[in-house]
Structure 1
Amino acid sequence: MANKEDLHDIIKMMADDPLGNEREIVSEIISDKYLLAFENIMADSNQELTVAIVNEEIVGTFQLTFIQYLNFQGGLRAQIEAVRTNSKYRGLGIGTKLIEYGIKRAKSKNCHVIQLTSDKTRKNAIRFYEKLGFKASHEGMKLKL
């Protein structure tokens, strides 16, 4: 589980690609927006922010959200977001371990499905998720507000 001291490294990883670089702000002083978001995530029992650590260095992260539904007979699903691996450690299986851990957590909560979205421009990420068994079974849509 992540802690507040991990935030700078998490934000750096989120900004370490063309899309993240456009929307994240990396600074030595962490903005109040990130701090508030972190506090809200930590206070919500349906949210988990996980970090992977190698030799005391944060090398990966992801957020897992548990969502209760009425459909699927009151089923619970898990949503994976913000999967990132430190660029120095890519290709070493850390992302796979993170996703496997997320799946294990979802199963432990009796979720009927685990889902994620990936920007269509992230071709490598999409191949990575497909290799782990994820299927593009639905057409996702978003409306920016």
Structure 2
Amino acid sequence: MKDENLKFRPAVRADLEGIVSMLADDSLGRNRENPALPLERSYEEAFLAISEDPNDELIVAEADGQLAGVLQLTLLPSITHRGSWRAMIEGVRTASTLRGRGIGRELIRHAIGLAEERGCRLVQLTTDKSRPDAIRFYEGLGFRPTHEGMKLRLDKEVVKE
């Protein structure tokens, strides 16, 4: 069901604390994010880098004037698929108090629409294998597990995945 009071917009600096708080408010984020204020400088630096890149966007959802969800949409040129563009969706979260209202579904659909407008031929995302509900959620939106994702940690800090 589409929430009529739901609006999408690019994130602004004033949203950053709420965004980090949403990222930390889940079983995996609890171990890898730090919502303590003042925020670590790395969050501000990442926000600025995303904001200044024309192929990167941090998108927030608002419901009744309240920060309700977030995702990052990155557009990537690719030599594969005949030199087409692809979109990558990362960092999807819905405020824990607002889950179950369809906000995440509408946020993903909005991002897909933006990718289509920019001429992308493919939208991709990853989700942790320990999140069966998230996997079902993405499959319900048409995503398929066609590839095996792999990651290599480069940071020295030990972060529990």
Q: Which residue of 1 aligns with 2:94?
A: 85
Mapping of residues 58-77 of structure 1, within 5 Å: 58-77=67-86
**TM, length-normalised to structure 2:** 0.88
Letter aligned with residue 130 of structure 2: T
Structure 2 residue identity aligned to 1:139: E
Unaligned 5+ runs, structure 2 = 1-9, 155-161
Percent sequence identity is 46
Of 23, 45, 57, which aligns to 2:54? 45
Can you list the C-alpha shifts for 1:8-55, whole angstroms capped at 9, x where unaligned? 110011011111010100112122110000000000011010000112
- Number of the residue aligned with 1:98: 107
Aligned match for 1:111, one of 96, 117, 120: 120
Distance in 1, matches of 2:82 and 2:64, equals 44
SS at match of 2:120: coil
Is 1:16 the counterpart of 2:25? The answer is: yes
Alignment of 1:123 onto 2:132: yes
Q: Encode CA deviations 1:101-135: one digit per residue, 9 max, x unaligned.
A: 01100100110100000000011111000001000
What is the RMSD computed on CA atoms of the aligned residues? Answer: 0.7
Q: How many residues align?
A: 145
Higher helix share: 1
In 2: Cα distance, 1:125 partner to 1:56 partner: 26
Equivalent AA in structure 2 for residue 76 of structure 1:
W
